Amino acid sequence: MTEKPSLLASVPSSQAAVATAPTQLPNDQLLEMYRTMFLIRRVEESLLELAESGKIGGAMHTAIGHEGSAVGTAWALRKTDYLTCTYRGHHHSLARGMDPKRAIAEVLGKAPGFAKGKGGSMHFVDPSLGLMGANGIVGAQVPHAAGMALASKIRGEDRVAITFFGDGALYQGLMHETFNMSEKWKLPVIFYCENNRYSEMTPISRTSSVSEIFNFVKAYGMNSVQIDGNDVEVVYATVSEAAERARRGEGPTFIEGLTYRLAGHMAGDLETYRPAEEIEMQKQYEPLAQLHQLLIDRGAAEDDLQKIRTEVEAEVEAAVEFAQNAPWPDIAEAYTDVYKV
């Protein structure tokens, strides 16, 4: 099989993806997106620092470099729409409006966390924001989203479900069962593959049987596209169109958003499976760098961007302090929210 650029981590997403015309958004909206993307970045960098200092127990996976997919999607969908994602899901939760204080407290296992410290890093959830659950089992969140889409269709609700997964999840059998059922029943669901070119530590080029993975679902007759997932305007335009199709009753869309994970698979990852030069090269094309340059090119002042970064730094610093000083859950909480008798 001839390897296409989309399978290779050595190729920037903007050069590997099928060209897509973005929707040009107004600068005030792009500035808000920039603020949210920088907030996500600083929260996750702070979480890595906390993990390295031994203050976070268990596995923790950051999405540094994936911010474009989360923010572009959050702006394209309604708050009432459903969202499920993988254990690498902090960015989606923060993009939908989760309080950074409660998010960091949850990762630290503290009582003020959104799940009272019981869910931790891999199980972010907040139905009030349409966040119906991250999932620690590879691919398990995908049929959940299809079920929500089916419920929406049966009830006659104008709600769309979107589910995020990585390239490694595509080889799970339940994924293809879900693709087939969703297309057959024309469910209002969007399948978004955040293809960062690595399935944990294995390059996707070593595991994929097709040269471009968005072609997988064409066997089911599903509409599918490949985009630069680092370009927030492209993500916004593509998800908006997919949501409109779904609301019109035209069924699901599969989006392959090419991106790159700048940090390790999880906290403590030694990253011996990829060269440092590759990471440094990809930093030139990551979502924040792209959006920063786009704003400058469209007349935004660097002083205004710096003001945003300064404000966000203070907000994240306060959130980290809040979470570290927050109380642990009472032992009695171990018996609540588990079973209803």
Question: How high is the pLDDT of residue 20?
Answer: 66
The answer to which of 39-53, 262-276, 309-323 has the lowest mean pLDDT is: 262-276
**pLDDT higher than threshold 80 for residue 57:** yes
Q: What is the pLDDT of residues 58-104, one digit of tens each?
A: 889 999 999 999 999 999 999 999 999 999 999 999 999 999 999 99
Q: What is the CATH number of the domain that holds 213?
A: 3.40.50.970
Q: What is the pLDDT of residues 140-154, one digit of tens each?
A: 999 999 999 999 999
User: Is residue 104 in a domain?
Assistant: yes
The answer to which of 95-109, 201-215, 246-260 has the lowest mean pLDDT is: 201-215
**Taking residues 26-45, what's their average pLDDT?**
98
User: Is residue 13 in a domain?
Assistant: yes
Tally of structural domains, the chain: 1
Distance from C-alpha of 259 to C-alpha of 162, rounded to nearest angstrom: 18
**pLDDT higher than threshold 70 for residue 55:** yes
Question: How high is the pLDDT of residue 15?
Answer: 79
User: Is residue 125 in a domain?
Assistant: yes
Question: How high is the pLDDT of residue 209?
Answer: 83
**pLDDT higher than threshold 90 for residue 219:** yes
Residue 334: pLDDT band with limits 50, 70, 90: confident
User: Is residue 341 in a domain?
Assistant: no
**pLDDT higher than threshold 80 for residue 227:** yes
Q: Which domain holds residue 207?
A: 5-322
**pLDDT higher than threshold 90 for residue 287:** yes
User: Is residue 256 in a domain?
Assistant: yes
Question: Of residues 6 and 33, which shows the higher confidence score?
Answer: 33
User: Is residue 212 in a domain?
Assistant: yes
Question: How high is the pLDDT of residue 38?
Answer: 98
Percent share of the chain, pLDDT over 90: 82
User: Is residue 329 in a domain?
Assistant: no
Residue 313: pLDDT band with limits 50, 70, 90: very high
User: Is residue 262 in a domain?
Assistant: yes
Question: Of residues 95 and 202, which shows the higher confidence score?
Answer: 95
Question: How high is the pLDDT of residue 283?
Answer: 95
Question: How high is the pLDDT of residue 113?
Answer: 96
